[in-house]
Homo-oligomer: A and B are copies of this chain.
Amino acid sequence: MSDTANEPIQSFTAKSDVPVRIEPRRQGFDMATLLGLIGAVLLIAAAIWMGGNWTAFIDVPSILMVILGTFAITTVSYSWSEVVQAQPVMWRTLFVRGQAPDEAAMKVLQLAERARRRGLLAMQNEFSALRGEPYLLRAMTMLVDGMPIEEVERNLTFETHAMAQRHQRSTGILRRAAEVAPAMGLIGTLVGLVQMLGALDQPDAIGPAMAVALLTTFYGAVMANVIFLPLASKLERNSAIELLVNHIYILGALSIGHQENPRRLELVLNTILPANQRVRYFD
């Protein structure tokens, strides 16, 4: 990459004179998740309401059985602490909008331009601005500390890989719950059916008994399809974006470590960004 050494530094635009404006992460609340969930629940509630007699859909023992049963069996599959500890990570990942890939790319380009103008060691002054991005901060710290580039790359790749595995485990808990809920619903319905079939001599009770028997299947289907599966998909999608952002940070850190021309970095970053998120840092 020695071909970048003799490029005129004055080709940088005036942008690089302003301090690195690494804005705090726009951690907006991701309304889509909440609104979608509420919308789906309201739709089902409306369908129930319109049929009159909505009390027929509430059977506390059935609700307890499906919810507690799903929780108990999911706990068996993992462990108490895992299910509990997964909660904050899960809620944060679900409702907090993460770093967008194009913002991450801009941030990395600013850093790269700075590093090229002022030298790698001067980057220490910018570290406070990176507090919101611990991953990028760790990458820059390793570079400034003089760790060999190959080792920096290995450590960052290890960390990303381990993060992906942890995300998979969180998703796994949700997917497992989505398998368990309909199964508990089926078991509840079978219990109800056997009880009903043993009392066929009371024709009036058959209908309501069967309705109650079906309720657990209904609860299980709603829990799996309206709550667990959508959240698992969301988690996977957010994880994919976070991996992309980390990939951008790795590319940036390696480029800074190799003291490449930031314009080249921009070109590379644009190849992995979607067409409508491509960045133009240099005119």
Contact = CB atoms under 8 A, between A and B. Distances in A.
A37 interface: yes
Interface residues of A, number: 94
B194 A162 contact: no
Contacts of A159: 271-272
A68 B39 contact: yes
Contacts of A199: 53, 207
B76 A230 contact: yes
| Number of copies of this chain that the complex holds | 5
B47 A273 contact: no
Given A47-B62, A162-B274, 9 more contacts: A31-B80, A32-B75, A36-B72, A43-B65, A47-B188, A50-B61, A162-B271, A187-B222, A193-B214
Interface string A152-195: 00011011011000100100000010011001101110111111
A194 B234 contact: no
Given A32-B80, A72-B39, A194 B211 contact: yes
B162 A272 contact: yes
A190 B176 contact: no
B191 A51 contact: yes
A240 to B, nearest CB: 8
Interface string A114-156: 0000000000000000000000000000000000100000011
Contacts of A32: 75-76, 78-80
A158 to B, nearest CB: 4
B218 A73 contact: no
Interface in A242-280: 267-268, 271-274, 276
Counting from the closest, the 8 A-B pairs by CB-CB distance are A77-B233, A36-B76, A200-B207, A76-B230, A197-B211, A183-B225, A39-B72, A51-B195
